[in-house]
């Protein structure tokens, strides 16, 4: 069964985010859509829980890595995820508005932001500085917080030099009933790189941070640092909770990819036009591709305005009628062209840009490699002009 799913509103948009449950459009007239296999997300959550033996926080930020945050959250929880994680409080509130009431953490926000609505909705907040702590205190309601230490990634989190002061301030705020410190967290820089020395260095720094927190009197319920790669390959990094993002969507960041995760997104379009052209015909902007022989060109109505990287120009392949064809020339804002040679391709034929690979189409990982990027970027950049059609 197909269901079309509306994406969550952008940050600051009014109204609640809900899935549409009407029938899917006739595929013959759909320009393009992204098929979202909710059962795959559910199965991936179950696999991650089984492999790690640890509670799983399903990361559904960035509209569920492009899959639809509400769809991803519900599927992950059905698969045994214990809690959810997002970047921004606005993302958390959109999930609450859609009726998702699972434990939920939002870890990235400026210290000047009003987080009262998040605290009032039971959203736990990441706290990386005394300024962040003060904002949660000002919101009232004894908000739940996860203190974040920077163990070497150099992004969010308190530095080790500032960590004790943050923990001491948090303990005082907790003792006065202003907050509840329910977690300590950090994030790896290179967990997907086998043998990278920074991983052990960060683990040591995290353990040191946990020790300092205990010395100040804090007794958090959960410790977490592991992303998908660490969750799968580094048992010592699992602690109480693992935060799984990319793996939840079936994309495995580890070497060998032997964990049985199943990609959950298939991006498809339908050929808009075909035409026969002679040898030497130029294709798309700047004519960077010229046909080596008389051939048929097929126009695909997807472009960088929909999330197809311009870097895919003359590099990435797509799948049509049982064969892969390379993109010919520059990807434009709304379209790209493939040179199908003498193959029988007609307007209306389905084009699989990427999927789970079971039909011979490229996977998002393979498409990303052709563009010199990562599969995280490929799935998250699919834009709002591409409707999500949920398989259920």
The CATH code for residues 265-391 is: 2.40.37.10
- Distance, in Å, from the CA atom of 104 to the CA atom of 266, rounded to the nearest integer, reads 28
Catalytic residues: 61, 285
Say if CB 296 and CB 321 are below 8 A apart: no
Domain positions in the chain: 38-249, 265-391
Q: CA 89, 93, 99 angle in degrees (round to 5)?
A: 150
- Distance, in Å, from the CA atom of 328 to the CA atom of 331, rounded to the nearest integer, reads 8
Report the pLDDT value the prediction gives residue 15, as an integer from 0 to 100.
Answer: 31
Report the pLDDT value the prediction gives residue 22, as an integer from 0 to 100.
Answer: 33
Instruction: Encode pLDDT of 255-270 as tens digits.
Output: 888 899 999 999 999 9
Report the pLDDT value the prediction gives residue 257, as an integer from 0 to 100.
Answer: 86
Q: For the chain, what is the largest distance between any 2 Cα atoms, rounded to a whole number of angstroms?
A: 79
DSSP labels, 97-113: HTT--S-EEE----TTS
Closest CA to 308 of 327, 288, 280, 282: 327
Task: Give the position of tokens 């977690």.
Answer: 183
Report the pLDDT value the prediction gives residue 9, as an integer from 0 to 100.
Answer: 31
Q: Do domains 38-249 and 265-391 have the same CATH topology?
A: no
Beta-bridged to residue 268, according to DSSP, are 33, 352
Instruction: Encode pLDDT of 355-373 as tens digits.
Output: 999 999 999 999 999 999 9
Angle between the N-to-C axes of helices 89-97 and 69-78, in degrees from 0 to 180, rounded to the nearest 10: 70
Classify domain 38-249 by CATH architecture: Alpha-Beta Barrel (3.20)
Report the pLDDT value the prediction gives residue 30, as an integer from 0 to 100.
Answer: 80
**Neighbouring residues of 65: CB distance < 8 A, sequence distance ≥ 6:** 59, 72, 245, 246, 248, 249, 376, 379, 380
Report the pLDDT value the prediction gives residue 256, as an integer from 0 to 100.
Answer: 84
DSSP labels, 152-198: SSSSSSB-HHHHHHHHHHHHHHHHTTSEEEEEEE---SSTTSTT-HH
Report the pLDDT value the prediction gives residue 255, as an integer from 0 to 100.
Answer: 87
Q: What is the CA radius of gyration of the chain?
A: 23
Terminal CA-CA length for the chain: 5
Q: Do β-strands 295-300 and 336-341 pair in parallel, antiparallel, or remain unpaired? A: antiparallel
DSSP, collapsed to helix, strand or coil, labels residue 199 as: helix
Give the residue ranges of the chain where pLDDT is below 70. 1-29
């Amino acid at each position: 069964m197909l269901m079309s799913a509306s994406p969550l509103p952008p940050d600051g948009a009014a109204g609640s985010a809900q899935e549409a449950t009407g029938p899917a459009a006739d595929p013959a007239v759909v320009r393009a859509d992204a098929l979202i296999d909710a059962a795959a997300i559910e199965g991936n959550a179950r696999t991650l829980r089984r492999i790690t033996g640890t509670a799983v926080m399903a990361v559904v930020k960035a509209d569920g890595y492009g899959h639809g945050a509400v769809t991803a959250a519900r599927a992950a929880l059905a698969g045994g995820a214990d809690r959810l994680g997002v970047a921004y409080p606005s993302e958390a509130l959109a999930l609450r508005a859609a009726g998702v009431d699972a434990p939920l953490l939002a870890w990235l926000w400026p210290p000047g932001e009003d987080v009262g609505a998040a605290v009032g909705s039971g959203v736990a907040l990441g706290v990386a500085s005394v300024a962040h702590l003060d904002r949660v205190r000002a919101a009232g309601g004894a908000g739940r917080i996860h203190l974040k230490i920077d163990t070497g990634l150099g992004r969010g989190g308190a530095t080790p030099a500032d960590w004790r002061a943050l923990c001491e301030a948090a303990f005082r705020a907790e003792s006065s009933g202003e907050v509840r410190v329910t977690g300590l967290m950090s994030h790896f820089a290179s967990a997907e790189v086998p043998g990278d020395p920074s991983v052990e260095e960060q683990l040591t720094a995290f353990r040191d941070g946990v020790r300092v927190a205990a010395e100040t009197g804090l007794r958090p319920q959960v410790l977490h640092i592991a992303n998908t790669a660490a969750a799968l390959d580094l048992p010592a990094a699992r602690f109480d909770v693992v935060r799984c993002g990319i793996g939840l969507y079936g994309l495995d960041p580890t070497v060998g990819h032997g964990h049985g995760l199943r990609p959950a997104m298939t991006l498809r379009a339908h050929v808009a036009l075909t035409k026969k052209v002679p040898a030497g015909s130029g294709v798309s902007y700047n004519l960077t591709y010229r046909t080596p022989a008389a051939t048929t060109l097929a126009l695909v109505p997807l472009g960088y305005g929909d999330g197809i990287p311009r870097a895919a120009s003359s590099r990435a392949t797509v799948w049509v009628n049982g064969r892969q064809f390379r993109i010919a020339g520059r990807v434009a804002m709304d379209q790209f062209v493939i040179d199908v040679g003498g193959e029988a391709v007609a307007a209306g034929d389905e084009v699989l840009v990427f999927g789970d690979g079971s039909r011979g189409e490229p996977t998002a990982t393979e498409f990303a490699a052709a563009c010199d990027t990562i599969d995280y970027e490929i799935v998250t950049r699919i834009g709002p002009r591409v409707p999500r059609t949920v398989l259920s």
